[in-house]
């Protein structure tokens, strides 16, 4: 009998070019996404060594991290950002790589446009110089975030040097209650395993609650796998996946589509295959989540209060907690729903897809953003923006007092003009609440799109389920 294997094992085995005696492997890469921040030094390295891009046809480029999300007709104001974007333009032209430029309707956050264009496919391997590459795992694609040296390595060789990771499975069964979303699910998972819980592993997400998620929801879950420390997150492809991909510009067509689907249907973990680590959660017990500290693992149900470091027995954790609470300007025991916000950000590769826009618009419809709150909505791509506008969502947001902007990473990492001022507090749908992540001194509470919109309207963190009950 052949060995029982996991989905990760299968994709890994199908891409193995070489294995050294010590276990170091050379893995073939089917798809490479590049962006302006982590690629310039890689192209410079190629140039200095006189190397070419081995497979420009498997490489796709977009500028997203630095681009302004306000009116772009006058170009980019910031000199350094402009140089980075222009460098990407030039490198793509010189090396023959396809690029979605700033004026292209297909431009957007790399992890939004890959799936949108059908560039991301089940059973393939993908890399991108960005840790949230795990997003593409939603399609049953083995996707790794890599550093610039590895970007250069992939450009030059179309392979990646890696050792095999451990197999971990997170099973979520049951039904998500009303008002509870994929974002709450993944925050709850990170809360359960911690930010290093997945270190050294590839995580397969399984169970009825994962199956019942749309592709957008699965992307949200896989996106934050890195916040649990894992190398990649993955969901077995199924009808929902095929439905999403069918007819996308870069998806296979005709007979190729049929044979691709036949193969994709074989991509699942064998019954009885063993995992190095298994975690199970029940979706019906998940309550809307919100982070209170400066690490994504600092997460609690919205019904809870700010925790007390005095209750923490581990000294290094206690020190970290005290530091977080000082940074966040919070007192132990404060109900989370009493925390007033100044800003709200809906966007990022975690939550900027059409479904996220719809969920937030549903909350915004007919309501008003609180006077003291500045709220911005940043769609994930030009195509998401266009679709939202066709559905009239932009008008719902604008009428409710939200700012409707151009696509990009925006305040997720505050490389462009969108950033928090020192001390400002934001309800954000992005993925990291690290110190200074959204601007020096800025304070971030991670939530779902619906929770973010609800907080903007209430003026403080709030339980979406109460708003919905109104």
Site for ligand SF4 in 108-167 (CB under 6 A): 109, 111, 130, 132
409 lines the binding site for ligand SF4 (CB under 6 A): yes
Burial class of residue 247, CB neighbours in 10 A (0-12, 13-18, 19+): exposed
Binds other proteins (CB under 8 A): choice among 105, 196, 280, 421: 196
Strand order in the sheet with 403-404: 403-404, 374-377, 343-346, 425-428, 443-446
> To 5 degrees, how large is the angle CA 84–CA 89–CA 93?
145
Asked if residue 36 lies in contact with residue 85, where contact means CB atoms within 8 angstroms, the answer is yes
**Minimum CB distance to ligand SF4 smaller for 289 or for 348:** 348
**Minimum CB distance to ligand SF4 smaller for 111 or for 231:** 111
User: Shortest Cβ distance from residue 131 to ligand SF4 (Å)?
Assistant: 7
Binds other proteins (CB under 8 A): choice among 2, 3, 22, 48: 22
**Minimum CB distance to other proteins smaller for 88 or for 363:** 88
62 lines the binding site for ligand SF4 (CB under 6 A): no
User: Shortest Cβ distance from residue 419 to ligand SF4 (Å)?
Assistant: 12
**Burial letters 343-362, b for 16+ CB under 10 A, else e:** bbbbbbbbbbbbbbbbbbbe
Q: How far is CA 417 from CA 31, 84, 103, 110, 117, in A?
A: 31, 15, 19, 19, 28
Site residues for ligand SF4, 417-456, by CB under 6 A, read: 430-431
Which 3 state secondary structure label does DSSP give 197?
coil
**Minimum CB distance to ligand SF4 smaller for 133 or for 167:** 133
Three-state secondary structure along 87-138?
A: HHHHHHHHHCCEEECCCCCCCECHHHHHHHCCCCCCCCEEEECCHHHHHHHH
Binds ligand SF4 (CB under 6 A): choice among 364, 413, 453, 455: 413
* Site string (68-107) toward other proteins, x via CB under 8 A: ----------x-xx-xx--x--------------------
Which 3 state secondary structure label does DSSP give 32?
strand
Site residues for other proteins, 243-282, by CB under 8 A, read: 252, 256-257, 259-260, 263
* Residue 109 interacting partner from other proteins, ligand SF4, none (CB closer than 5 to 8 Å by kind): ligand SF4
* Site string (316-355) toward ligand SF4, x via CB under 6 A: --------------------------------xx------
* Site string (80-109) toward ligand SF4, x via CB under 6 A: -----------------------------x
Counting residues that bind other proteins (by CB under 8 A) gives 81
> To 5 degrees, how large is the angle CA 97–CA 103–CA 107?
60
* Residue 348 interacting partner from ligand SF4, other proteins, none (CB closer than 5 to 8 Å by kind): ligand SF4
Identify which range of 268-276, 314-322, 346-354, 460-468 contacts other proteins by CB under 8 A.
314-322
Give CA–CA dist 203/210, Å, rounded: 13
Binds other proteins (CB under 8 A): choice among 5, 171, 195, 212: 195
Residue with tokens 């490389």: 415
* Residue 163 interacting partner from other proteins, ligand SF4, none (CB closer than 5 to 8 Å by kind): other proteins
**Burial letters 307-319, b for 16+ CB under 10 A, else e:** beeeeeeeeeeee
* Site string (162-191) toward other proteins, x via CB under 8 A: -x----------------------------
Taking only Cα atoms into account, the Rg of the chain, rounded to an integer number of angstroms, comes to 22
* Residue 349 interacting partner from ligand SF4, other proteins, none (CB closer than 5 to 8 Å by kind): ligand SF4
Counting residues that bind ligand SF4 (by CB under 6 A) gives 13
Give CA–CA dist 437/430, Å, rounded: 10
């Amino acid at each position: 009998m052949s060995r029982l294997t996991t989905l990760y094992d299968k994709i890994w085995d199908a891409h193995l070019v070489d294995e050294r005696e010590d276990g170091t492997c050379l893995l073939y890469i089917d798809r490479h996404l590049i962006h302006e921040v982590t690629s310039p030094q890689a192209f410079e390295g190629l140039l200095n060594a006189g190397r070419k891009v081995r497979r420009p046809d498997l490489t796709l480029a977009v500028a997203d991290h630095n681009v302004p999300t306000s009116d772009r007709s006058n170009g980019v104001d910031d000199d350094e950002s402009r140089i980075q974007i222009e460098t990407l333009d030039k490198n793509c032209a010189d090396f023959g790589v396809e690029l979605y430029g700033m004026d292209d309707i297909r431009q957007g956050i790399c992890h939004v446009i890959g799936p949108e264009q059908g560039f991301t496919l089940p059973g393939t391997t993908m890399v991108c110089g960005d840790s949230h590459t795990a997003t593409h795992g939603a399609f049953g694609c083995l996707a790794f975030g890599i550093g610039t040296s590895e970007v250069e390595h992939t450009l030059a060789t179309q392979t990646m040097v890696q050792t095999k990771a451990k197999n971990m499975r997170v099973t979520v069964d049951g039904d998500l209650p009303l008002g509870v979303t994929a974002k709450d699910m993944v925050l709850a998972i990170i809360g359960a395993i911690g930010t290093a819980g997945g270190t050294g592993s590839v995580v397969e997400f399984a169970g009825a609650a994962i199956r019942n998620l749309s592709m957008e929801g699965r992307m949200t879950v896989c996106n934050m796998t890195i916040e649990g420390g894992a190398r990649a997150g993955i969901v077995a492809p199924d009808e929902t996946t095929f439905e999403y991909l069918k007819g996308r510009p870069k998806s296979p067509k005709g007979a190729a589509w049929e044979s691709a689907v036949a193969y994709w249907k074989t991509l699942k973990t064998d019954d009885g295959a063993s995992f190095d680590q298994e975690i199970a959660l029940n979706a019906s017990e998940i309550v809307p989540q919100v982070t209170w500290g400066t690490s994504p693992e600092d997460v609690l149900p919205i019904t809870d209060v700010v925790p007390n470091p005095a209750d923490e027995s581990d000294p290094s954790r206690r020190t970290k907690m005290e530091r977080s609470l000082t940074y966040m300007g919070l007192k132990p025991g404060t109900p989370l729903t009493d925390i007033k916000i100044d800003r709200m950000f809906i966007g990022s590769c975690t939550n900027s897809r059409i479904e996220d826009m719809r969920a937030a618009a549903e909350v915004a419809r007919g309501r008003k953003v609180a006077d003291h709150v500045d709220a911005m909505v940043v769609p994930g791509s030009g195509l998401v923006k266009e679709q939202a506008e066709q559905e009239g969502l932009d008008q719902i947001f604008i009428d409710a007092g939200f700012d409707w902007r151009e696509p990009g990473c925006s305040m997720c990492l505050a490389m462009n003009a969108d950033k928090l001022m020192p001390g400002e507090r934001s309800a954000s749908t992005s993925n990291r609440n690290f110190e200074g992540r959204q601007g020096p001194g800025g304070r971030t509470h991670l939530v779902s799109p619906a929770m973010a919109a609800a907080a903007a309207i209430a003026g403080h963190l709030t339980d979406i389920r109460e708003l919905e009950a109104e």
